[in-house]
Amino acid sequence: MANASYIIVKDGDKTRKATYREFYGPLDKGAAKPSFCYPTRKQDMKDEIDKMERALSTGYIQKEREMESKRKLKEKKARLDQINEQETAARKLFAGNKDKWMERRDALAEEIRETMPSRDAVRKKIVNPFSVLKKEKGGLEEKKREYIVLSRLAGEESNVSYLQKDKD
């Protein structure tokens, strides 16, 4: 990948190259962003688990469906635990080299800012949609994704529209 950049990471005594793709886990099978980048989905899952537990404990679920509900509850809890473990591992990797990851995030912000059309140009409709799409497919989309992942881990604002310039 031509646009990929590596961060030198120290793992104990060893040093190695790392990309933001290491924040992805086995749960993210081809997803655009890691699962911890979707906090509302995670909260919805927690709420659903709580709701299922209350329904099982109060006896609202019919006896014929109780075993199935327990199985589904167990699966959802396991999935939530895996998401939390993945997030913990990603935060640990990020915290170990926070300065380098933040430098990379700042560099990405500048690159994204330079390649995006200004708000003024969009408002005046002088932006060529074909050229915007070409930039997106030419690597800008991947940079935006990396920026979002690093911003989420840093606890910073991850909306790339805030990077857009007001005027040229």
The tokens describing 160, both together, are 């790339």
Average pLDDT over residues 38-63: 92
Is residue 15 predicted with pLDDT exceeding 70? no
Residue pair 76/128 in contact by the 8 Å Cβ criterion = no
CB contact set of 90 (below 8 Å; sequence gap of 6+): 22, 23, 25, 34, 36, 153
Report the pLDDT value the prediction gives residue 105, as an integer from 0 to 100.
Answer: 92
**30 phi/psi in degrees, rounded to 5:** 75, 10
Residue pair 12/92 in contact by the 8 Å Cβ criterion = no
Q: Distance (Å, rounded) from C-alpha 104 to C-alpha 127?
A: 28
The tokens describing 41, both together, are 């989905």
Domain boundaries defined on the chain = 7-163
10 Å CB burial of residue 88 (0-12, 13-18, 19+) is exposed
Chain segment 122-158, per-residue pLDDT in tens: 888 888 888 888 887 888 888 999 999 999 999 888 8
pLDDT averaged over every residue in the chain: 85
Report the pLDDT value the prediction gives residue 161, as an integer from 0 to 100.
Answer: 82
Proportion of the chain in helix, strand, coil states, percent, rounded to 5: 70, 5, 25
pTM of the predicted structure, to 2 decimals:
0.78
Report the pLDDT value the prediction gives residue 166, as an integer from 0 to 100.
Answer: 76
